Amino acid sequence: MTAAFDPAQAPAPTPAAEPQRTPLHALHQRLGGKIVPFAGWALPVSYPEGQVAEHRHARAAAALFDVSHMGQVRLDGPGFEAVAAALETLVPADVLGLPVGKQRYSQFTTAEAGVVDDLMIARPPEGALGGVLGPVFLVVNAANADTDLALLQAGLPAGITATRLQDRALLALQGPEAVAALARVAPGAADTLNALRFMEGAVVELAGAACWVVRSGYTGEDGVEISVPAGQAVALAEALLADAAVKPAGLGARDTLRLEAGLCLHGHELDTSITPIEAGLAWSIPKVRRAGGARAGGYPGAAVVEAQLREGPARRRIGLMAQERVPVRDGAALHDAAGRPVGRVCSGTLSPGVAQPIAMAYVEAAAAAEGTALFAQVRGRGVPVTVSPLPFVPHRYRRV
């Protein structure tokens, strides 16, 4: 097996004079979006109605997010099986068993099982979009795209290549009315869209553009993510925003939505010091890749993962609910009732859906039981918090 990739050896991103702009940049400006730098990109954090209104609209109807900063990567090689087998040396997922038209969540791991990045892995239909997506299609985080490409190029064998698709945009339409709104834009594809279940994808023509549409997202709501040619992204976005159910939403709402849904954000809940098991992502490692499975191990950090699956991790990701209306933010230290340090907050917000402060944190396993009373250090005093189950708001994915 190829030696585990060391993220510290990845080439540093080339400094840019200005953040990169997505194909929808001018549209964001016309809509009054408040543009901020994020992961090397200029993106809207909110629109004139405000972050809370955008959050609530995503829960009630349909919100449109520009996520074109995410890295879209095509893997090529002599057929799906060869590409999938090669990718399995870098991730703990069952890629070889991925059915046509399906997508799975996984992680790139280090030799110590730390998470270099989390990603989506899809198997589009053969020749989809003229072969643009390849036999295996990945979506990776924007901040880690250069590192991920270096990891792939270092770790994949000869004959298997990774190419970032620079000429495609990515839109996320999220909320209980998302699929219905999308079907109104493409009535001829309504049956195809309505038939999709969570993590299933299809090639669909939308507003004149040939798109790859997957029923997935990062909000806990039903919805879709749409890979569209960059030159046709504005027309598609405008067609969607013309629907009465759809409003634009920015990075701020995307973060509070994913936090309510208990979803990890790389750089907060995930990094190279945190394993998938500590993060509560054991569900993403199937039996076939575990001890005793037909293709057990074989990826970086497999021995560490197996030990934590067998013995349990020393720390765990948990949810926290504050007992006062005091937001508990990233970095706040956590102590038990005796004042002993037990962990640290990795994300926190005042939840629009729960109407009180919520957070996610890592604590030692002995302090991770639901209902455990802890104290978060906020501006020099201990704010009482309680370990709470995740997610804070039930997921509403369409699975059946």
Any idea what the CATH number is for the domain that residue 296 is in?
A: 3.30.1360.120
* Residues 258-269: b if buried by 16+ CB within 10 A, e if exposed: bbbbbbbbbebb
Task: Indicate if 318 and 304 belong to the same structural domain.
Answer: no
Q: Could you say which residues of the chain have pLDDT below 50?
A: 1-2
Do 318 and 307 share a structural domain?
A: no
Domain of 166? Answer: 18-311
Structure tokens that stand for 273 in this block: 């010091």
User: Do 245 and 64 touch, CB atoms closer than 8 A?
Assistant: no
Do residue 335 and residue 227 come from a single domain? no
Between CA 143 and CA 67 the distance in angstroms is: 12
Residue 241 in domain = yes
**Any domain includes 3:** no
Residues 227, 199, single domain; the answer is yes
Task: Give the separation between CA 208 and CA 43, rounded to whole angstroms.
Answer: 25
**Domain match, 232 and 153 both:** yes
How many whole angstroms separate alpha carbon 50 and alpha carbon 9?
A: 41
pLDDT at 1: 43
Strand partners, 121: 104, 138
Residue 293 forms part of a structural domain: yes
User: Would 127 be classed as within a structural domain?
Assistant: yes
pLDDT of residue 9: 58
Question: Is the residue at 7 inside a domain?
Answer: no
Token pair 């040396």: residue:
89
Across all residues in the chain, what is the average pLDDT?
96
Is the Cβ–Cβ distance between 395 and 355 less than 8 Å?
no
232/340 same-domain check:
no
Residue 146 shares a structural domain with residue 132:
yes
Judge whether 387 lies within some domain.
Answer: yes
Q: How many domains does the chain have?
A: 2
Q: Is 177 annotated as a binding residue?
A: no
Same domain, 279 and 230: yes
Tokens 């954000």 found at? 265
Do 204 and 337 sit in the same domain of this protein? no
Which of 280, 311, 342 terminates a domain? The answer is 311
Tell me which residue has tokens 């560490």: 304
Which of 289, 311, 333 is the last residue in one of the domains? 311
Assign residue 57 a region (left: φ > 0; alpha: ψ between -120 and 50; beta: otherwise).
alpha
Cis-peptide into 37, omega within 30 deg: no
pLDDT confidence of residue 15: 52
* Residue 281 lies inside a defined structural domain of this protein: yes
* Residue 173 Cα to chain centre, angstroms: 14
CATH of the domain at 333: 2.40.30.110
Nearest to 200 by CA among 217, 180, 221: 217
Predicted pLDDT at 284: 98
183 with 287, same domain? yes
Q: Coil, strand or helix: which one is 217?
A: coil
End-to-end CA distance of the chain: 39
Residue with the two structure tokens 């280090």: 110
Statement to judge: residues 141 and 46 lie in one domain: yes
Alpha helices in the chain (DSSP H): 25-30, 51-60, 80-87, 145-155, 178-185, 190-195, 233-241, 251-260, 302-311
What pTM does this model have?
A: 0.95
- Look at residue 124 in the predicted model and tell me its pLDDT: 98
Residue 4 inside a domain? The answer is no
At which of 296, 311, 326 does a domain end?
A: 311
Residues 96 and 211 in one domain: yes
pLDDT at 8: 57
